[in-house]
Amino acid sequence: MAPQPPQSQVRNNILKFLKTFLGLIRILQIVFGAGLWVTIAANKYEGSSHFVLFVAVLFWLLTLALFFLTLLDKQDLVPLLGGERWLSTNLAHDVAAAVLYLPAVGVMIYKTDRNSYCNLDLYKHLCLYKVYLTAAVFACLCCLAYLASVVYGACRKCRGEQTVI
């Protein structure tokens, strides 16, 4: 068993990662993704909202895993994906997330538009317009965060960098 680094070195690694662009963008992805799936799951949803919820929860969990593995500097423990391939793994994750969030944004915009008729003060029945509008905003923010991460990761990959931090 390898000797454990002192606590101050671990704390310094954590603070170092949290101050990087990737650390900050991962936090935004986690916050926006949680906002999206909580907004949808806390209200009545049907039909194509299931796809949006699937995308939001899947990539929220995967982003949490990538975030904590990188934060704790344990990416070398992941078989086949860690070590030298960690930057490529992060890039592939971000590309997949951005590609799947694009139709999710479209679904939420469509649902918002379909429910725009009930956005009146006199309308007394259940109206999901504000829920869908909030979810559409969170989906757009998530998509933008993942796209920014794709651009950042692609630039680092093109420069030949191997590590995430």
- Tell me the per-residue pLDDT of 148-163, one tens digit each, with 9 for 90 and over: 999 999 998 888 876 6
Tell me the mean pLDDT in the region 133-155: 95
Which residues have a Cβ under 8 Å from the Cβ of 57 and sit 6 or more positions away? 37
CA 76 – CA 152 distance, rounded (Å):
21
Instruction: Please give the structure tokens belonging to residue 50.
Output: 């299931």
Residues 6+ apart with CB under 8 A from 1: none
Alpha helical stretches, state H, 42-74: 49-71
Whether residue 17 has pLDDT greater than 70: yes
User: By percentage, how much of the chain surpasses pLDDT 70?
Assistant: 87
Q: What is the rounded average pLDDT for all residues in the chain?
A: 87
The answer, yes or no, to whether residue 6 has pLDDT greater than 70, is no
Find the angle CA(96)-CA(102)-CA(103) to the nearest 5 degrees: 105
Q: What is the pLDDT of residue 162?
A: 65
Mean pLDDT of 143-151: 96
Q: What is the pLDDT of residues 46-99, one digit of tens each?
A: 888 999 999 999 999 999 998 988 888 777 777 667 667 878 889 999 999 999
pTM summary value: 0.86
Burial of residue 84 (CB within 10 Å: 0-12, 13-18, 19+) is exposed
Distances (CA, A) of 71 to 65, 138, 147: 10, 24, 21
Distance between CA 139 and CA 124 in Å, rounded? 28
* Dist CA 86 CA 75 (whole Å): 7
Among the ranges given (16-20, 36-40, 80-84), the one the predictor scored with the smallest mean pLDDT? 80-84
Is residue 125 scored above 60 in pLDDT? yes
If one compares 121 and 28, the residue with the highest pLDDT of the two is 28
User: Cα–Cα distance between 14 and 73 in angstroms, integer?
Assistant: 8
Nearest to 130, CA basis, from 108, 103, 106, 145: 108
pLDDT at residue 1 is higher than 60: no
Nearest to 137 by CA among 99, 105, 94: 105
Which pLDDT band holds residue 40 (cuts at 50, 70, 90)?
very high
